[in-house]
């Protein structure tokens, strides 16, 4: 423990009435415990209300400053240092103002992006696109929660425009932009880590290669008259962008849009939503197919593709009906 010099002791005696122990610890470059112990030995206990000990101001002013800084994104460690306050007291102040304490990952998100994500309750068409695209090409399964990670993303293969579309919808919904990167050869990925966004998406759906799907109450809501067919169709576009394909076999005169998955229960949900928007289709064990001139034209109008390559193939295939 550093020895108390005559100068330090004189400063303590001079300012202890007008400054708090926390202020004095900063002025004297000593720990709060050391200042408090020395002050009690020399001068006795303070008889001022605890609310008026902080930063030489009334408690409510000090607390408002602290709470404001925290809500604007400052970390607890930064505030503890700035206001010379113990962590336990800092937490007590925040909770007394009804402030939710951020977790480590949430604070890291703010440190990186400068803000928390915007979380809007309800299913917008952008959020539906995000969810359905992850049904088809989600980056990580729900089981990653066991490892305390909260990565949200898609694996787009070589379809850069699919990844960019997903990022655009994500940015519109949550006001933050996922990272875009290429892993290996022709393996484009878009991802972001956020506990708040993770919780929001899992409020409506669950994800995994063999177990993805909408929660029962959400499916019921989408099938109701409260949600338009246009909004449902836009969400389904995300799934077809991820896993859909255009198949045109000239010799067999076969023209169809198909989408496949090993998750048969998930495909049943997709089929139910296709029924909702009035699009005729056929359901198989591990795929859904749309064929016939009228049905393909309806698909193009109601759902379509956000991927230029697939959209062009669809247009070309439909045009062959007109030239026969």
Strands 282-283 and 287-291: antiparallel
Residue pLDDT, tens place only, 72-93: 888 888 888 887 777 888 888 8
Integer Cα distance of 173 and 130 in angstroms: 9
As a whole number of angstroms, the longest Cα–Cα distance in the chain is 103
- Is-same-fold flag (125-209; 229-322)? yes
Structure confidence at residue 222 (pLDDT): 97
Domain spanning 229-322, CATH class: alpha beta
23 vs 170, more confident: 170
Model confidence at 141, pLDDT cuts 50, 70, 90, reads: very low
CB 99 within 8 A of CB 70: yes
Structure confidence at residue 143 (pLDDT): 52
The CATH code of domain 125-209 reads 3.10.28.10
The helix/strand/coil state of 131 is helix
CB 54 within 8 A of CB 20: yes
Residue pLDDT, tens place only, 152-187: 999 998 889 999 999 999 999 999 999 999 988 888
- Packing angle between helix 229-243 and helix 293-302, nearest 10 degrees? 100
Mean pLDDT for 200-215 is 91
Model confidence at 147, pLDDT cuts 50, 70, 90, reads: low
Integer Cα distance of 264 and 79 in angstroms: 51
Give how far Cα 193 sits from Cα of 17, 112, 113, 123, Å.
48, 11, 11, 21
Contacts of 50-57 spanning 24+ positions with Cβ under 8 A:
53/20, 53/21, 53/22, 54/20, 54/22, 54/83, 54/85, 55/20, 55/22, 55/23, 55/83, 56/18, 56/19, 56/20, 56/23
> At residue 321, does pLDDT exceed 90?
no
Residue pLDDT, tens place only, 278-304: 999 999 989 999 999 999 999 999 999
Mean pLDDT for 200-227 is 93
Give how far Cα 59 sits from Cα of 48, 221, 319, Å.
12, 48, 74
Domain boundaries, the chain: 6-113, 125-209, 229-322
Give how far Cα 260 sits from Cα of 121, 190, 263, 283, 289, Å.
30, 22, 9, 10, 9
Integer Cα distance of 197 and 204 in angstroms: 12
**Mean pLDDT over each residue of the chain, to the nearest integer:** 86
Mean pLDDT for 109-134 is 91
């Amino acid at each position: 423990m550093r020895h108390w010099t005559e100068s330090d002791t004189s400063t303590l005696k001079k300012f202890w009435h007008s400054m708090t122990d926390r202020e004095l610890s900063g002025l004297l470059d000593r720990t709060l415990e050391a200042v408090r112990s020395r002050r009690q030995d020399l001068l006795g206990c303070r008889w001022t209300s605890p609310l008026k000990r902080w930063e030489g101001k009334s408690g409510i002013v000090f607390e408002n400053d602290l709470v404001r800084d925290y809500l604007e994104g400052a970390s607890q460690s930064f505030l503890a240092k700035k206001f010379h306050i113990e962590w336990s007291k800092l937490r007590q102040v925040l909770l007394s103002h009804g402030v939710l304490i951020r977790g480590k990952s949430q604070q890291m998100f703010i440190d990186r992006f400068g803000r928390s994500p915007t979380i809007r309750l309800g299913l917008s068409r952008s959020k539906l696109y995000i969810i359905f695209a992850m049904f088809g090409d989600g980056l990580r399964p729900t089981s990653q929660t066991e490892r305390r990670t909260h990565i949200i993303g898609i694996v787009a293969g070589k379809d850069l425009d699919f990844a960019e579309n997903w990022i655009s919808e994500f940015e519109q919904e949550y006001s933050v932009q996922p990272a875009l990167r290429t892993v290996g050869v022709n393996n484009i990925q878009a991802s972001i880590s956020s506990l708040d966004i993770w919780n929001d998406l899992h409020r409506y759906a669950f994800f995994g290669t063999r177990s993805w799907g909408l929660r029962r109450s959400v499916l019921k809501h989408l099938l109701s008259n409260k949600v338009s067919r246009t909004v449902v169709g836009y969400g389904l576009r995300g799934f077809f962008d991820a896993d859909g394909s255009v198949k045109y076999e000239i010799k067999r005169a076969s023209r169809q849009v198909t989408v496949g998955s090993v998750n048969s229960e998930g495909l049943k949900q997709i089929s139910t939503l296709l029924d909702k928007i009035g699009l005729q289709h056929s359901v198989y064990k591990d795929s859904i197919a749309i064929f016939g001139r009228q049905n393909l034209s309806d698909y193009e109008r109601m759902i379509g593709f956000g991927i230029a390559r697939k959209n062009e193939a669809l247009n070309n295939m439909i045009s062959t009906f007109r030239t026969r």
